[in-house]
Amino acid sequence: MTAETLISALFVFVLATFAGFEVITKVPPTLHTPLMSGANAISGIAVLGALIIAGERDWNVTVILGLIAVVLATINVVGGFLVTDRMLQMFKKKEAKV
């Protein structure tokens, strides 16, 4: 990787960090649950990409990193859906006791 490519990648990363921070801080609390569900769907796409990378027959660094990515992305998706479900449970009306 050349120095110019590294500087360009760092520049894009810094700009994306600032843009993401500004977007996230402007979201009202009532929209956090739907946005979390969307983020979980995007994490599901990361699982598919990691499965494609980890699907090779030869064991090398790429396959090992792909396997680690599958495990971590799966944990992220499952945990995200559990948190989203728990948050949605707070908005349900409680049944009256008889």
Which tens digit of pLDDT belongs to each residue from 68-90?
878 888 888 888 788 778 877 87
Does 58 map to a domain? yes
- In-domain check, residue 96: no
> What's the domain count of the chain?
1
Domain that holds residue 40: 30-90
56 class by beta-carbon count within 10 Å (0-12 exposed, 13-18 middle, 19+ buried): exposed
Q: Read out DSSP for 20-61?
A: HHHHHHTS-GGGHHHHHHHHHHHHHHHHHHHHHHHT-SS-SH
The pLDDT tens digits of the residues spanning 25-51 come to 887 777 766 676 677 777 778 778 777
| Phi, psi angle pair for 90, to nearest 5° | -70, -25
Amino acid at 75: I
Asked if the structure places residue 48 within a domain, the reply is yes
For residue 70, being part of any structural domain is answered with yes
